[in-house]
Amino acid sequence: MGLNLESLTIRYGSAPPAVQGVSLALGAGRIAALIGPSGCGKTSLLRAVAGLVPVAEGRIRVAGTDVSGVAPEQRQVGMMFQDYALFPHLRVDQNIAFGLHRRTRAERERRVAQMLEMTGLADLAREPIHQLSGGQQQRVALARALAPQPRVMLLDEPFSALDVELRERLAHEVRQILRQSQTTTLLVTHDQSEAFALADEVGVMNAGRLEQWGEPQDLYLQPATPFAADFVGRGTLISPALGQALGFGPGVLPEIAAPDGGPPHWLLRPADLCIADEGIPPGSAARPVLSAELVRKSFRGADWLYTLRLTALPGPQGTAPEVRVQVPAWSRHDCGTALPLRPAFRPLHPAPGMDVPSA
């Protein structure tokens, strides 16, 4: 086994626990990412695995060994920080050799050469750090952390200092490097697309607890809790009655077991609804229409995310339920506007002879 956490709890003073009862199992050589809102305990958990924060309750096992009370430098856990913490006045190869002081000179040179090769830095080996770009520095930091062959590698917001385009490219490169070195890795990021691009497994944290742990696609398709549904993919769990009022028949929206053991809910994503009078595809004009009022909107670049109140449907306490709808970037509606909604056209089970383009 790579990394196991058993009922891990972390406290700072008398405040409520920063991490509470988190258990997870990460297989050897696998890559996992923790995501969750700011302050949910991601970094605290990572730092506890590194031994930088004491554990109040629970156990941490690295490759089967309980390291909960072991000093950080004896855990064989590598950590790469947001700011890389490189030595700017030293050369690339000297930075990579930093954690290898206990090895013989020949061993050290061999390992540094290996790491330079693996991270594509061989041509820059003798350059001083301060002359490198952000992306190159990021690779040096990774090479330095991997050089002592840690049993577990921890990455804290590894790309936060880089621009978006570089982040995407490096995420793939870093994944390849970690794969090649078969290093069990746990990383923390606030960027979901980064987590999904890099990780085999993703953990969703909320208020110190691990809400869900699973493969990225399962997290999206089968969120375990309303929080996970909302946080990953801005989904909302709605009652089947509301789903039917919105015009969905049974079996159209994914069914999710209610957390309290009650009747299952339906998972509504922002792409499942659209504004009734816009871009009506053939065959869907006759679908039911429900009136709603635009409450909030946020521009996301490629589209808008609208939050609408279903004014025709008072909820259980007399409050109208809200839904989120993804609308095209060119849409222009003011908050307070009444907008008719209908289910988005989605041929789940194309009729025989229907021409559905393949992906």
Whether 162 contacts 171, CB under 8 Å: no
Residues 6+ apart with CB under 8 A from 199: 31, 32, 33, 187, 216
> How far apart, in whole angstroms, are the C-alpha atoms of residue 359 and residue 342?
25
Figure out which of the listed residues 89, 172, 190, 296 binds ligand ATP, where binding follows CB under 6 A.
Answer: 190
* Segment contacting ligand ATP by CB under 6 A, of 41-49, 101-109, 121-129, 281-289: 41-49
Nearer to ligand ATP among residue 38 and residue 319 (C-beta): 38
Nearer to ligand ATP among residue 42 and residue 297 (C-beta): 42
Nearer to ligand ATP among residue 99 and residue 208 (C-beta): 208
Minimum gap (Å) between residue 52 Cβ and ligand ATP: 10
Helix and strand totals (H; E) in the chain:
9, 18
# binding residues, ligand ATP (CB under 6 A): 11
Figure out which of the listed residues 43, 137, 181, 307 binds ligand ATP, where binding follows CB under 6 A.
Answer: 43
> Bridge-partner residues for 255, per DSSP?
266
Nearer to ligand ATP among residue 10 and residue 308 (C-beta): 10
In the region spanning residues 21 to 40, those forming contacts with ligand ATP, defined by CB under 6 A, are: 36, 38-40
Query: In this structure, how many other beta carbons lie within 10 angstroms of the beta carbon of residue 175?
Result: 16
Figure out which of the listed residues 3, 32, 35, 42 binds ligand ATP, where binding follows CB under 6 A.
Answer: 42
Residue 128, exposed/middle/buried by CB under 10 A (0-12, 13-18, 19+)?
A: middle
Whether 83 contacts 22, CB under 8 Å: no
Nearer to ligand ATP among residue 20 and residue 119 (C-beta): 20
Q: Which of 173, 199, 179, 180 is nearest to 121 (CA)?
A: 173
Residue 74 in contact with ligand ATP, rule: CB under 6 A:
no
In the region spanning residues 277 to 336, those forming contacts with ligand ATP, defined by CB under 6 A, are: none
**Which amino acid is located at 342 in the chain?**
R
Nearer to ligand ATP among residue 162 and residue 294 (C-beta): 162
Nearer to ligand ATP among residue 119 and residue 192 (C-beta): 192
Residues 6+ apart with CB under 8 A from 10: 17, 18, 19, 41, 44, 45, 48, 53, 54, 55, 56
Residue 83 in contact with ligand ATP, rule: CB under 6 A:
no
Minimum gap (Å) between residue 41 Cβ and ligand ATP: 4
Residues that bind ligand ATP (CB under 6 A): 12, 18, 36, 38-44, 190
